[in-house]
Amino acid sequence: MDGLLIGAGFSALAVGIPAMMRPDLMIRESARNHKRRLDELRNGAPEAYFEERRELEAYAPRFDFDAPTIRRLGGFGAFLGVLSLYQGLTG
């Protein structure tokens, strides 16, 4: 039994399974949300913090993963988690 592999397997499963089941909760920022908020500010909505509009105009979102991509990454993480658990328990 290898405790490190077992811990890594549980960690990968703890992230991978929720990503497969509810990928919409994993999306932090996307081009769609960025554009929606910028349009709101241009139409007169109040800024949530100082210079929010300037920040949105200057910086594009870093990640633009859609739900199927997150679901696939979660499945891959869960697969690696199962492999790590198996190797940790049998090796």
CB 4 within 8 A of CB 89: no
Backbone angles phi, psi at 26, to 5 degrees: -90, -10
Domain shared by 32 and 59, yes or no: yes
Domain shared by 39 and 21, yes or no: no
Its pTM stands at: 0.63
How does the average pLDDT of the chain come out, rounded? 88
pLDDT tens, position by position, 15-51: 999 989 988 777 766 777 888 899 999 999 999 999 9
Domain of 55, in residue numbers: 28-64
Domain shared by 35 and 60, yes or no: yes
Q: Which of 1, 2, 65, 6 is nearest to 32 (CA)?
A: 65
Distances in whole angstroms, Cα of residue 75 to Cα of each of 44, 64, 81, 85: 42, 18, 10, 15
The count of structural domains within the chain is 2
Q: Which residues contact 2 (CB under 8 A, 6 or more apart)?
A: 87, 88, 91
Domain shared by 57 and 71, yes or no: no
Q: Which pLDDT value is given to residue 34?
A: 85
